[in-house]
A and B are shown apart, each in its own frame.
Chain A
Amino acid sequence: MNIVDIVYNPWFSGIVGLILIGIVFVCAILAVWLERKFGADIQSRIGPNRVGGRYGILQGIADAIKLFTKEDLIPAKADRLLFVIAPIIVLGSGFMMIVAIPFGAIVIGDNVYPIAATQMDISIIYLEAVSALSVIGIFMAAYGSNNKYSMIAAFRNMARMIGYEVPLGVCILGVAVMAQSLDIVEIAKAQSPLWFVFLQPLGFVIFFIAILADMGRLPFDQNEAEEELVAGWGTEYSGLRWGLGLFGEYIHMVLGACIMVLLYLGGWNLPKFLTGIFVLGSLMPIFWFVGKVIVIVLIIIMLRWALPRFRIDQVVDLGWKVLFPLSVLNLIWAVALSLAFDMFFGA
């Protein structure tokens, strides 16, 4: 039994893979800090600047400690069971996504060892399915807390999910057609010479918009529109219970950026002369992947402070009347392109 067999033993990789949850949690805390600091810079404010030096980088940890010392409130009119379970589902959906996502890879010679807790043959469908679970969690939170603002937010959230899940699915289909696989690792490997963003620019744009809507980021955060809906689905939540839901959403943002990099922006692939360097070359794909994810997260955060919010009916119309037909067009383009590749370069 050599080391690769041990590392890829499902029990071993499943238990050691739990470290990834910790790493993603830290990333989510950093994303909260980044959002506040970056937003402050854009709006000429100061932002967090006390905890952890001049840039307030430990602000997130201070906030987390504060959440632990807050009283846990469940409103008298709330449905206690739904109210308690809902944040677990929102957070759990994020956890279940972490299993299947490879966070970079170690490349030794011609062998690629993705850093993932598991490698399924249908991981992209699995990711779609578990990421959609959070919508159910949000609806449970709203229905359970028995608050009018929460209910309106949850209905809007449903409408948005309904509008954007279909274009998202068709875009992923376009990628799967080109890579000839539903395994996200294989899809990332298939982009070794050329990123899919260059082959399907239209698909990338649609996917980017749809995943923004899926994550509930501006301009698609109608469910948390603070000017009209107080705090959206989390109005009745306080303390750590609210914190769990919030972290669930930020985890979704970080993981959404990861999926975008894996599907369209070439994943961890580097040219061979770079990965050939001893030791450093084997680790370089991880930094390359993480670097791209950070850039995408920064763009997503920047969009929040740059764009105004749409009205909910405009959002749903955009999904059904623009993105869906265009995504079908992109699918036809992807099939035609891959058939042409197959005809000219195939066996």
Chain B
Amino acid sequence: MSIIGSYIPVVIFLIVALAVPPVLMFIVYQLSPRSKAADKLTTYECGSVPIGDAKIQFNIEYYLYAIAFIIFDIEILFMYPWAMVYIGHGITEIAVVAMLLFFIVSVVIGDLYMWKKGAFKWVK
């Protein structure tokens, strides 16, 4: 299969994935009953009258985790191409190990640094 060809099924599946739920909901509209009670549209809050809005600002305790995630995730993604070429492409073992160490050390030092600085602490 060519590279472009291998993504044709993805497009077909994507179209189906986008088309199936609306079709199912259409069937539901044909089959389901309607009631006119107004209370059915209120937000659920254990049966009492809802207080305020849910879209308020509150402390996200893991903000620094999230920043760390972005850095590490991209760093890990950079290692995938490396993992494919390090054997059998004329690269010597020393170069392989040096490249691995460069990535690993930067990841581990980053992790330890954030840990020591208290980034991985659930802020109460």
Contacts and interface: CB of A to CB of B under 8 A. Distances in A.
Contact of B65 (A11, A75, A316, A346): A316
Contacts of B9: 10, 13-14, 17, 99, 117-118
B44 A230 contact: yes
B65 A338 contact: no
Contacts of B90: none
A75 B41 contact: yes
Interface size class on chain B is 35 or more
Contact of A147 (B44, B115, B120): B44
Contacts of B5: 10
Contacts of B34: 71
B100 A332 contact: yes
A260 interface: no
Interface stretch (A33-41, A46-54, A234-242): A234-242
Contact of A235 (B35, B44, B84): B44
Nearest to A78: B43
A157 B31 CA distance: 34
B25 A72 contact: yes
Contacts, number: 203
Interface stretch (A102-110, A192-200, A267-275, A321-329): A321-329
Contact of B17 (A68, A92, A324, A328): A92
A182 B44 contact: no
Given A10-B6, A68-B28, A346-B87, A328 B122 contact: no
A147 B104 contact: no
A159 interface: yes
Interface stretch (A163-171, A280-288, A295-303): A163-171
Interface in B67-95: 68-69, 72-73, 76-77, 79-80, 83-84, 86-88, 93
Interface string A219-260: 000000000001000011001110010000000000000000
Given A162-B62, A166-B69, A69 B31 contact: yes
B113 interface: no
Contact of A182 (B68, B84, B104, B107): B84
A335 B76 contact: no
Contacts of A13: 9
Contacts of A10: 1, 5-9
Contact of B28 (A21, A74, A159, A240): A240
A77 B43 contact: yes
Interface stretch (A55-63, A119-127, A206-214): A119-127
Contact of B32 (A72, A96, A181, A230): A72
A331 interface: yes
Interface string A159-188: 100110110011001001100111000000
A15 interface: yes
Contact of B96 (A75, A125, A159, A339): A339
A117 B28 CA distance: 30
Contacts of B120: 317, 320-321
B43 A8 contact: no
A76 B37 CA distance: 12
A347 B107 CA distance: 32
A96 B14 CA distance: 7
B16 interface: yes
Contact of B111 (A14, A71, A241, A325): A325
A274 B31 CA distance: 51
A131 interface: no
A120 B6 contact: yes
Nearest to A178: B83
Nearest to B96: A339
Given A98-B13, A148-B45, 10 more contacts: A18-B13, A77-B42, A92-B17, A95-B13, A96-B17, A99-B13, A173-B79, A177-B83, A236-B44, A316-B65
Interface of B: 1, 3, 5-14, 16-18, 20-21, 24-25, 27-29, 31-35, 40-46, 50, 53-55, 60-62, 65-66, 68-69, 72-73, 76-77, 79-80, 83-84, 86-88, 93, 96, 100, 104, 107-108, 111, 115, 120, 122
